[in-house]
């Protein structure tokens, strides 16, 4: 992209929204839906997952766009950046244009949120407002989370516990233990995506005054934490099935384990460089494959029972 023709129009905004990361918004809703249909609680709103996915994707896209503009303004994204090109840093759009696009995405997410609030009540309203605020505060405000060591915890909470628990609640009216455990599982791999991203950018982030978890831990410890985050979901799946919280069909999610092992091995031998961009996309793919495989297993369980 850096050496080609700059994108314009819809292609520009699609690129700026970082579509390769949007699987992180899709996976939790898929997992929650499968848990709802295979679990003991009656499903009251089967249409809710469609709206929830759209809202989650728009919220993430808006957060990505706010991050694009903010990192340019605060000097984090420079010419020597190792990651994929960013719209503002490349001069394809101004910070104000990117911020307006981010706000538009948030407003569209809020429109869908009105419907979700109507069927889910005040808990969904509170989660929706918190998610939008978090998407903005991650890169903006007096204490941006992206400049601290707490980004991975932030992602684990919102892309895991909130996303899976909220989607399950929308469909059943309650939050089950399985949904919370699976929220932890998918949130862990979402946090691994951010950790890998921050390892790639750790030198530039340090020069810009950031104190991300990767910078605080260093490369060797970051590799160990990444491995833990990638393996944890499969341990949770085994434990929840063994404890009877989920049907045995959920163990189909272990199909993602070999891919996870390959990304862990690849990261162990990698150093901060543009080559990590492919590994970053691969980590997102691991989470998506894990969620889809588990959902298929749960779906078969629901049909067979």
What is the distance between the alpha carbons of residues 29 and 78, in angstroms, rounded to a whole number? Answer: 35
In the predicted structure, residue 77 carries a pLDDT above the cut 70: no
Angle at 296 between CA 163 and CA 305, to 5 degrees: 105
Q: What pLDDT, on the 0 to 100 scale, is given for residue 152?
A: 96
What is the distance between the alpha carbons of residues 152 and 72, in angstroms, rounded to a whole number? Answer: 21
Instruction: Kindly give the residue spans of alpha helices, DSSP state H, lying in the chain.
Output: 9-16, 23-38, 48-73, 95-120, 122-137, 151-156, 163-172, 177-200, 202-207, 213-217, 219-242, 257-268, 276-304
Of the pLDDT bands very low, low, confident and very high (cuts 50, 70, 90), residue 73 is confident
| C-alpha Rg value of the chain to the nearest Å | 19
The two structure tokens encoding residue 55: 């809202």
Of all residues in the chain, the percent with pLDDT exceeding 70 is: 95
Q: What pLDDT, on the 0 to 100 scale, is given for residue 208?
A: 80
In the predicted structure, residue 261 carries a pLDDT above the cut 70: yes
What is the distance between the alpha carbons of residues 109 and 25, in angstroms, rounded to a whole number? Answer: 13
Of all residues in the chain, the percent with pLDDT exceeding 90 is: 64
Which of 298, 226, 294 lies closest to 263 in space, CA to CA?
226
Of the pLDDT bands very low, low, confident and very high (cuts 50, 70, 90), residue 300 is confident
The mean pLDDT of 82-107, rounded to a whole number, is 87
Mean predicted lDDT score pLDDT of the chain: 89
pLDDT tens sequence across 148-191? 999 999 999 999 999 999 999 999 988 889 999 999 999 999 99
Buried b (16+ CB within 10 A) or exposed e, 109-119: bbebbebbbee
pLDDT tens sequence across 97-152? 999 999 999 999 999 999 999 999 999 999 999 999 999 998 888 888 988 999 99
What is the distance between the alpha carbons of residues 148 and 75, in angstroms, rounded to a whole number? Answer: 16
In the predicted structure, residue 3 carries a pLDDT above the cut 50: no
Q: What pLDDT, on the 0 to 100 scale, is given for residue 71?
A: 81
Query: In the chain, what are the domains?
Result: 14-295 (1.10.600)
Q: What pLDDT, on the 0 to 100 scale, is given for residue 270?
A: 86
pLDDT tens sequence across 194-241? 999 999 988 888 888 889 999 999 999 999 999 999 999 999 999 999
Which of 300, 299, 291, 298 lies closest to 256 in space, CA to CA?
291
The values of phi and psi at residue 77, to 5°, are: -85, 110
For residue 153, the tally of other CB atoms under 10 A from its CB is 15
Of the pLDDT bands very low, low, confident and very high (cuts 50, 70, 90), residue 82 is low
């Amino acid at each position: 992209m850096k050496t080609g023709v700059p994108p314009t129009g819809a292609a520009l905004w699609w690129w700026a929204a970082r579509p390769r990361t949007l699987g992180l918004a899709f996976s939790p809703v898929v997992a929650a839906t499968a848990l709802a249909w295979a679990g003991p609680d009656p499903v009251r709103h089967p249409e809710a997952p469609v709206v929830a996915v759209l809202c989650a994707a728009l919220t993430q896209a808006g957060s990505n766009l706010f991050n694009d503009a903010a990192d340019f303004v605060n000097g984090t994204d420079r010419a020597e950046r190792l990651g994929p090109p960013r719209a503002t840093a490349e001069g394809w759009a101004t910070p104000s244009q990117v911020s307006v696009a981010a706000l538009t995405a948030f407003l569209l997410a809020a429109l869908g949120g009105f419907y979700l609030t109507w069927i889910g009540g005040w808990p969904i309203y509170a989660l929706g407002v918190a998610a939008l605020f978090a998407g903005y505060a991650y890169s903006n405000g007096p204490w941006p989370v992206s400049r601290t060591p707490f980004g991975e915890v932030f992602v684990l909470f919102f892309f895991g516990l909130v996303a899976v628990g909220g989607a399950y609640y929308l469909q059943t009216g309650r939050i089950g233990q399985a949904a919370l455990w699976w929220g932890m599982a998918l949130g862990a791999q979402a946090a691994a995506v951010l950790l890998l991203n921050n390892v790639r950018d750790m030198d530039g982030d340090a020069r810009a005054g950031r104190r991300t978890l990767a910078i605080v831990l260093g490369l060797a410890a970051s590799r160990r934490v990444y491995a833990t985050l990638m393996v944890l979901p499969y341990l949770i799946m085994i434990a929840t099935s063994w404890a009877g919280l989920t049907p045995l069909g959920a163990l189909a999610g272990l199909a993602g384990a070999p891919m996870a092992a390959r990304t862990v091995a690849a990261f162990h031998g990698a150093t901060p460089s543009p080559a990590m961009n492919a590994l970053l996309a691969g980590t997102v793919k691991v989470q998506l494959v894990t969620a889809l495989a588990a959902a298929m297993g749960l779906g078969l369980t629901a049909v067979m029972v």
